[in-house]
Chains A and B, each alone.
Chain A
Amino acid sequence: MTSIYRSPEGRDHPVVKGTYALYTRPIQEFISILAEWIDEGTPGGYVYGPYRHGKSTAVNEFIKVRLAAKCAGPLPLFTFSYDKHDRFSEHDFLSDLLTASKHNFTEGRSCRVKTERLTNFYATCARNAGGNRVLLVVDEAQRMHGPEYHVLCNLQNRLDVLGYKLTVISVGSHQVAYQHGAFLNVDDLYLAARFFVNGAQFRGIIGAIELEEVLKGYDVDSEWPAGSGTSYTKYFFPKAFEAGFRLSASAAELWSIFEEMGPANPKHGLQVPMQHIARTVEALIRKFSDDGICEPEINRDDLVKAVERTGYRVFMKAVWYSPSTPRTRGGSPA
């Protein structure tokens, strides 16, 4: 009996390297909402959700491929993970935007030149795609404040003059949703009206059925090596998989453990972060992956231990004490 997880050939597996992503129902909903906003021609919107729920994975891994299929017509899309500096600098912000857009020339002497460069670049991309819309998705947007949005506002205005539309989607933790109120308080109503017109929540996994769908991702909707037709579960449990072993069969039991270990009375129902599910599954694979056994003996205690090691209990306590949605603060309805 040998552990495939630790075998030399298994070292490059995405699960071992932690470089895989599963298309979940929350991501599907997130992309559907974005597609709706874009088709409506909204100048901006925001998506908020607790940490570790898979927002960044959705932005980096799925948005480009899946959104293009859902939107009517081609859409140039740029993603930008905002990196907060000690002091805001328009120069740095524009350079970061240019870098994120993969522009060849990111440096410049003046902000005007950089803004023009970015405007022309977005306009040309839209023109080359055969439309007049450009989408900018800003991840970690909870760190952005008025000055950053002012820069984006200028960019949007310049593109408007040229006849192109820029949609800015701010994706971040729940603090993003507070920006709306913050802009109203400091008379930046026009920023709120532009970038916070639409809002939506990025939720976690709710219920055993959704969890089963996620685990089916390991069982069926995954493949490695590419083109081999071998799912992740089949790769790590070859004989057991042939004998009918599936991770998704443990979904109900796993969900009950998440419920037990989670907050006693969650405000909006239990939402399990995707990261804890993934780390639990990875722990199980790490422990039980074997090319010899026909039926891995994974009992409830093993599942509890695996969940416990992900720090689920501590994390959920922290989330429990933090304000989860803007509704509770009397903000605009999401």
Chain B
Amino acid sequence: MIALPKKAVRPYESLLFLTWRFLSLNRPELSAFSASVNLSLYDSLHLDLICGRAGARSIELTSLRRLLGLTKLQLRQGTLDWSTLRKQVLFDFRYCLQCLEYGYHAAIFQLSTIKTCPEHHSELATGCPNCGRCTSTIMTRDFSADAFTCRRCGKVMVDLGVLIDPPAISFGAEVRIIANWYRWASDLPRSESHLLADSKDERQDVHSGEWAALELVGGRRAPDSVGLDRKALVGGSVRYVRCGIRTTSESRRSIGGQSHSRAEREMRGFFLYGLYTRHIEKQIPQTRKLIRVLLQDRGNRWASSINGVKLETIIHAFAVFLFRYTLEGWGGLRDGYRGKHALASSQTRFVEAFHLKNSRCLHPCEQGDLHCSEAERDWLFDHFVMEGLRGLFEEATSRAREMAKTGCYFLVDLSQWESRALPYTLGKFNAKSELEFWSVSFASDQELYRSDLQEMSLPISLPVIFRKERLSVEINA
């Protein structure tokens, strides 16, 4: 038996707070506590109860849940999803003073996007009200000390009487709305890829860009109290690609397809490049003709050829030209004019150019939080290649538009292009069990780029026919 007030768990009360209450009332020894919850001593001293982890590992919390008399739902409500929210979780105990009078703390108070208490609208505080000393939400060596008493000045933050008999709360509706929104967003199946921000202390950054994107593509607006960074999405666009067939988890595991080697992947990338290039060349009929003119290196002829041609056509043709110039690694115009086999012979240079330093194309094997089988990786690779190609073509179009405005066209290597926008790739399974990808383009600070995106954002279906294999992406495994 233990000292534990029965039927005293309030809605969305954090597991951290409930565990602290248990520890404060029972004051167990570390070894006894570890044995009770079936954890090693190391894990007990590194418990992150906000995300239900110990150090970098997720741990089994069933024993703790039973010890605290929680239902599975209460445990779920009392924790945050590490795989999706880790960048937003703060590790210093944050509280609302008014909620603390009721001995109440919700897990969402630890989110950096939540600045104020959704119920009392007071700013969430960190540290002791008396001396300012912060209390870590991670278990530490002074385990047996009362978590509700400041270890520096001895200030008691929650009365013992409140811990023994926690009063019922009349509030909680707003907390529920926010927690439910985050739970919905966390559960949304997706694959994400993004460049890591160059920040020394990653925890200080609010990487909520993808959450804003989720809000947009999922069609469920976040509550006002959630401070999502929506600025990045202004002028951005959302596109989606629908492909693949969802399979059961068993069939996913038994996929026997062998993973492609790096060389094979590059071959595949080059093949996709060919397909995509032909697609964009065919989008506007005059494009190929204009490109041929350019390749013949007759400047005056180019000027005469574009007379009477629509501006959009010119921009498109020059963009295709710049696109090929960059990716096929042409040293000059002559390199591009080599007949039917020009493309095949430039494969090596394509591969070099393709690994752009700042490419928007992220290889799923190298970066990103993807949990999928090897065969799925290959399939995702196709998608990522297409994303990269499309991003580069957008940049080429932007440059061509700029040149069209001045009337001065010149060759520029787009491999020097620096992506100011972080690409996000999100996906979910639709009602037809197909996997839909959204590629969310975040606008950069440049007005020009933003306007380009606005004009170019079309709900396209990529021209590439993906392999119709039984593939899908395991999300948040």
Contacts and interface: CB of A to CB of B under 8 A. Distances in A.
Interface of A: 101-105, 107-109, 113, 116-117, 120-121, 123-125, 127-128, 162-163
A162 B36 CA distance: 28
Nearest to A102: B1
Q: Which 3 A-B residue pairs are closest in the complex by CB-CB distance?
A: A124-B3, A121-B3, A105-B28
Contacts of A113: 27, 144
A113 B6 CA distance: 22
B2 A108 contact: no
A127 B5 contact: yes
Contacts of A123: 3, 164
Interface string B136-179: 00000000100000000000000011011100000000000000
Contacts of A108: 27, 29
Given A113-B27, A113-B144, A105 B2 contact: yes
A104 B1 contact: yes
Interface of B: 1-6, 24-29, 32-33, 36, 144, 160-161, 163-165
A117 B26 CA distance: 5
Given A120-B24, A120-B27, 11 more contacts: A103-B3, A103-B26, A104-B2, A105-B27, A105-B29, A108-B27, A113-B144, A120-B26, A121-B25, A121-B26, A123-B3
Nearest to A106: B32
Contact of B29 (A109, A120, A121, A162): A109
A56 B3 CA distance: 27
A127 B5 CA distance: 7
B1 A127 contact: no
Contacts of B165: 127
18 contacts: A103-B2, A104-B26, A104-B32, A105-B27, A107-B29, A113-B27, A113-B144, A120-B3, A120-B24, A120-B26, A120-B27, A121-B1, A121-B2, A121-B3, A121-B25, A123-B164, A124-B4, A163-B161
Contacts of A109: 29, 144
Nearest to A117: B27
A100 to B, nearest CB: 11
Nearest to A126: B164
Nearest to A115: B27
A59 B28 CA distance: 29
Most chain A C-beta atoms within 10 Å of own C-beta, residue among B24, B27, B160:
B27
Contacts of A127: 5, 164-165
B161 A162 contact: yes
Contact of A104 (B24, B36, B160): B36
A27 B446 CA distance: 91
A105 B5 contact: no
Contacts of A163: 161
Given A103-B2, A128-B6, A120 B32 contact: no
Contacts of B4: 124
A162 B160 CA distance: 8
Contacts of B25: 117, 120-121, 124
Contacts of A128: 5-6
Nearest to B25: A120
A127 B21 CA distance: 15
Given A104-B32, A117-B26, A124-B25, A162 B2 contact: no
A101 B26 CA distance: 13
Contacts of A101: 1
A163 B162 CA distance: 12
Contact of B27 (A102, A116, A124, A162): A116
B6 A120 contact: no
Nearest to A158: B160
A69 B24 CA distance: 33
A125 B33 CA distance: 20
Contacts of B163: 120
A163 B164 CA distance: 11
A162 B3 CA distance: 14
A195 to B, nearest CB: 24
Contacts of A124: 3-5, 25, 164
B164 A105 contact: no
A125 B1 CA distance: 10
A117 B32 CA distance: 14
Contact of A107 (B5, B6, B32): B32
Most buried by B among A108, A113, A128, A162: A128
A106 to B, nearest CB: 9
Contacts of A116: 27
A120 B27 CA distance: 10
A105 B1 CA distance: 9
A87 B56 CA distance: 49
Contacts of A120: 3, 24-27, 160, 163-164
A144 to B, nearest CB: 24
A116 B160 CA distance: 11
Given A105-B29, A107-B32, A124-B164, A117 B1 contact: no
B27 to A, nearest CB: 5
Contact of B164 (A104, A107, A117, A162): A162
Contacts of B36: 104
A162 B164 CA distance: 9
A116 B149 CA distance: 14
Nearest to B164: A123
Contacts of A105: 2, 26-29, 32-33
A331 to B, nearest CB: 38
A105 B2 CA distance: 8
A109 B145 CA distance: 12
Contacts of A121: 1-3, 25-26
B40 to A, nearest CB: 18
A249 B1 CA distance: 47
Contacts of B2: 103-105, 121
Contact of A117 (B3, B5, B161): B3
Nearest to B1: A102
B115 to A, nearest CB: 35
Contacts of B161: 162-163
A133 to B, nearest CB: 14
A194 B262 CA distance: 84
Contacts of B26: 103-105, 117, 120-121
A128 B160 CA distance: 15
